[in-house]
Amino acid sequence: MSTEKTFKLDGKSIPFQDGDTIMDAALRAGEYIPHLCHNPEFAPHGSCRVCIVDVNGRHMSACTLPAAEGLEVDNSSERIMEQRRNILQMLFVEGNHVCPGCEKSGACQLQAVAYYTRMLSPHYTHFFPKRSVDASHPDIAIDFNRCILCELCVRASRDVDKKNVFSITGRGLESRLVINSASGKLGNSALSASDKAVSVCPVGAILPKHVGYDQPIGDRLYDNKPISVVGDVASANNQQENAND
Amino acid sequence: MTEMTDNTVNESGEKQKPRIATAALCGCFGCHMSFLDIDERILQLVELVEFDRSPITDIKEVGPCDIGLIEGGVANAENVEVLRDFRRHCKILVAVGACAVNGGVPAMRNQFELKECLVEAYINGIGVENPQIPDDPEIPLLLDKVHPVHEVVKIDYFLPGCPPSADTLWTFLNEILAGEEITFPYSLIHYD
């Protein structure tokens, strides 16, 4: 007797429960759908668009689309991969992502997803925006050059840490991450190094200080294995924290 | 993507080897060093290709070539001239390394006004004597911003990495010389 509800992901039957998104069901089944703003611990955000899939001929974000019986989801065709590459290329040119000069390099989810989609160039014209670095906090630095506006820190600080340290202000190209403190600086905020908001950053924007190169380049999360095998930055941080406890 | 065309035949009817030129624009020469890291495989390479303008040959002018490898971004007027000259002479032009691909570390100066950079280095720099901003006409004028090479000319292939490893360069050259599709295993794609 099979009353299990399923949809097809690249031809494979994926079981799901009521309330699941395509992403939830795929992750549970061990199928990788590239993503940046999604983290299973938080409510879906649907902003980065990297998890774009073709669902019965329509392009949808897998992290926000409710799973439904009979859906045919294309997660790996060259057409979908190319769209993801284009989205990633736009993310790269919109900020200042200087991988050789970034201490997150090798353990950065933006980089890892770009490797996964075989992105070899930024293709578009770089914006080279002028953004700042805030190193006013004794234990945490924030480099706005690398922020991709995934809002994971916003969600983690609001929903888990209950501190509301981060917020997005502005619209469109003017959108930017701001810090909720009297001076607008991280040093005056309630953020502490053990906060969830610090460990969920998928890129090198929010960085714990004093540990930058503890793990050598070449030995990092994505240096030898793709993200489809080793998983997200945040879940690797979780595992490390559990191991330390 | 651009394909290699058949090698031309010289006057004595022999097939000529594909010609490769290389240049370093605003980079650190690390990509050329990585290229030399192919070590003894360079003996195989010289069997397959002829080198034209390159720091390796010290030939100063680029002639008609099959493949041009560009290291470094575009930071001054001379970089623009060399890059355009390479584009005119090379059937296939390749951006090699982070600086050529996205401006790399030199492009971090794009955060500042050019004047601020010059003042910081030549006027207020620690230990600078007789401070002055160099203005000899022999010195190529700096551009306002550092640009990736694809923002100036059409680029056919991109090899990211700081630097791309010797294996990445070797794999690319072998595939392109064999007329094969360019594909890299996971370990050969990295941006750092």
Q: Which of B150, B158, B192 sits opposite A99 (nearest CB)?
A: B192
Residues ≥6 apart with Cβ < 8 Å to B93 = B68, B70, B86, B87, B153, B154, B155, B156, B157
Buried b (16+ CB within 10 A) or exposed e, A39-55: beebebbbbbbbbbbbb
- Which residues of chain B lie closer than 8 angstroms to A111, CB-CB? 191-192
| Phi, psi of B56, rounded to the nearest 5 degrees | -75, -35
d(CA A166, CA A154): 5
CB atoms within 10 A of CB A240: 11
Q: What angle do CA A63, A69, A71 make, to 5 degrees?
A: 60
Query: For the segment A7-63, what is each residue's pLDDT rounded down to a tens digit?
Result: 999 999 999 999 999 999 999 999 999 999 999 999 999 999 999 999 999 999 999
Q: Which of B148, B159, B187 sits opposite A126 (nearest CB)?
A: B148
Query: Strand, coil or helix: what is B18?
Result: coil
Q: How far apart are the first and last CA of chain B?
A: 25
d(CA A169, CA A230): 33
Which of A116, A128, A130, A225 to mutate to test binding with chain B, by most B CBs within 10 Å of its CB? A128
- Domain assignment present for B74: yes
Residues ≥6 apart with Cβ < 8 Å to A134 = A141, A142, A143, A144, A179, A185, A186, A187
Query: Strand, coil or helix: what is A132?
Result: coil
Crossing angle (nearest 10°) for helices A78-94 and A109-116: 150
- The answer to whether A40 and A24 are in contact (CB under 8 A) is yes
| A115·B150 Cβ contact <8 A | no
Q: How far apart are the first and last CA of chain A?
A: 44
The answer to whether B103 contacts chain A (CB < 8 Å) is yes
- Which residues of chain B lie closer than 8 angstroms to A130, CB-CB? 111
d(CA A228, CA A153): 23
The answer to whether A47 contacts chain B (CB < 8 Å) is no
Query: For the segment B110-123, what is each residue's pLDDT rounded down to a tens digit?
Result: 999 999 999 999 99
The boundaries of the domain holding residue B53 are 19-107+143-188
Domains, chain A: 5-76 (3.10.20.740), 81-222 (3.30.70.20)
* Nearest of A82, A83, A58, A68 to residue A15 by alpha carbon: A68
| Complex-level ipTM beyond the 0.95 threshold | no
- Domain assignment present for B184: yes
Chain-centroid distance of CA B30 in Å reads 11
Q: Which residues does residue B19 pair with via DSSP β-bridges, in sequence order?
A: B50
Q: Which of A98, A115, A121 sits opposite B158 (nearest CB)?
A: A121
- Domain assignment present for B11: no
Cα dihedral A35→A37→A42→A44 (10° resolution):
-80
User: C-alpha distances in angstroms, A35 versus A39, A60, A111, A116, A231?
Assistant: 8, 13, 12, 11, 10
d(CA B15, CA A80): 43
The answer to whether B34 contacts chain A (CB < 8 Å) is no
- The answer to whether A71 and A56 are in contact (CB under 8 A) is yes
Q: How far is B40 from chain A (nearest CA, A)?
A: 24
**What residue ranges of chain A have pLDDT lower than 50?**
1
Which residue in B has a C-alpha nearest to residue A111's C-alpha? B191
The answer to whether B98 contacts chain A (CB < 8 Å) is yes
Chain-centroid distance of CA A219 in Å reads 21
Which residue in B has a C-alpha nearest to residue A226's C-alpha? B186
- Which residues of chain A lie closer than 8 angstroms to B158, CB-CB? 120-121
- Domain assignment present for B137: no
Q: Which of B108, B145, B148 sits opposite A101 (nearest CB)?
A: B108
- Domain assignment present for B13: no
pLDDT by residue for chain B (192 residues), tens only, comes to 455 555 556 666 677 899 999 999 999 999 999 999 999 999 999 999 999 999 999 999 999 999 999 999 999 999 999 999 999 999 999 999 999 999 999 999 999 999 999 999 999 999 999 999 999 999 999 999 999 999 999 999 999 999 999 999 999 999 999 999 999 999 999 999
Which of B31, B190, B191 to mutate to test binding with chain A, by most A CBs within 10 Å of its CB? B191
- Domain assignment present for B126: no
Which residue in B has a C-alpha nearest to residue A104's C-alpha? B192
- The answer to whether B41 and B47 are in contact (CB under 8 A) is no
Q: Which of A122, A217, A226 sits opposite B192 (nearest CB)?
A: A217
Interface of A with B in 69-128 (CB under 8 A): 92, 96-102, 105-106, 111, 114-115, 118, 120-123, 125-126, 128
pLDDT of the residue at B78: 97
Q: Which of B105, B145, B159 sits opposite A100 (nearest CB)?
A: B105
CB atoms within 10 A of CB A230: 16
d(CA B133, CA A138): 38
- Domain assignment present for B115: no
* Total domains present in chain B: 1
d(CA A113, CA A118): 9
The answer to whether A225 contacts chain B (CB < 8 Å) is yes
| Sheet containing strand A206-208, strands side by side | A133-134, A140-143, A206-208
pLDDT of the residue at A1: 47
pLDDT of the residue at A239: 84
* CATH code for the domain of B71: 3.40.50.700
pLDDT of the residue at A2: 58
- Domain assignment present for B131: no
pLDDT of the residue at A238: 85
pLDDT of the residue at A243: 80
